[in-house]
Structure 1
Amino acid sequence: MKKRINLTFPKRAISIPITYRLAKDFNIAANIIRAQVAPNKVGKMVLELSGDIDQLEEAMEWMRSQDIEVSQHGREIVIDDMVCVDCGLCTGVCPTESLTLDPKTFQLNFLRSRCVVCEQCVTACPVNAIAVNL
């Protein structure tokens, strides 16, 4: 099973090797989607976890026991097809190539499974057809 979560680390928990512990202690693969972690600062990370459902729950409980705030990642990019003009400006800023233009029809294609919700496309869209759904 896969689960995308948000982590918020207190300053004292920054040095905990989270992804290592998830793999070693809980047999969970952790894909880091986004991270802002620096010494003596509150850290934030978005992880996609893959593993057995029971082990995922155990791992999230362990992180909470380390005073790491764990929440479900519910944000996603939404595109209003009625507003989108298929200009392709968003495709140039998309780091995962989840936004592409069809070479034959020149219509925008969105592969939600590749999207990491970096939000770069939101600011790039000149007609405000792209937004983040919370």
Structure 2
Amino acid sequence: MKRRLTLHFPREVVHQPITYRLAVDFDIAAKILRAQIAPNQSGTMVVELSGDIDELDAAESWLEGQGLGLNRAPGQIAIDRALCVDCGICSSVCPSGALSCTAPAWDLQFEASRCLVCEQCIPSCPVEAIALVLDPV
């Protein structure tokens, strides 16, 4: 099973080997999608965790116990076809291959089932045709 999480690192936790501990203690593979962490500062990291569902639950509890804040994927990516110009810039930053442009038509294709909701495509779109649609609360 896979889960996408945004981890919020407080300053005092930045130096801990979090992804190593996930692998060794919980048999969880952590694919880092985006990270913005600097020494002696707080930071964030978007990860896709893969493993057994019980181990994923235990790993999330452990992460929270280490002082990390956790946010689960808050929604889904939506593309406004009326605004999209099929430039393909978003497909070049998509780590999962959910966005692609292929010959001969070169139209943007979006495969939602592959999307990790990492949000890297949103700032890359020059016409702001991509947005995060939040899940209802």
- Displacement of 1:122: 4.3
Counterpart check, 1:21 vs 2:37: no
Change (3 A) 1:122 1:13: closer
Q: Which residue of 2 aligns with 1:76?
A: 76
TM-score, scaled relative to structure 1: 0.82
Aligned Cα root-mean-square deviation (Å): 2.2
Q: Which residue of 1 aligns with 2:102?
A: 102
Counterpart check, 1:35 vs 2:35: yes
- Displacement of 1:80: 1.6
Q: Which residue of 1 aligns with 2:45?
A: 45
Change (3 A) 1:92 1:67: closer
Change (3 A) 1:6 1:47: same
TM-score, scaled relative to structure 2: 0.81
Moved more, 101-110 or 15-24: 101-110
- Displacement of 1:105: 2.4
Q: Which residue of 1 aligns with 2:119?
A: 117
Identity of aligned residues (%): 40
Structure 2 regions of 5+ residues with no counterpart? none
Query: Aligned AA for 1:90?
Result: I
| Count of equivalent residues | 131
CA–CA distance in 2 between the matches of 1:34 and 1:18? 15
Query: In structure 2, the residue corresponding to 1:125 is in which secondary structure?
Result: coil
Query: Aligned AA for 1:15?
Result: H
Query: In structure 1, the residue corresponding to 2:106 is in which secondary structure?
Result: coil
CA–CA distance in 2 between the matches of 1:27 and 1:18? 13
Query: In structure 2, the residue corresponding to 1:63 is in which secondary structure?
Result: helix
Query: In structure 2, the residue corresponding to 1:82 is in which secondary structure?
Result: coil
Query: Aligned AA for 1:4?
Result: R
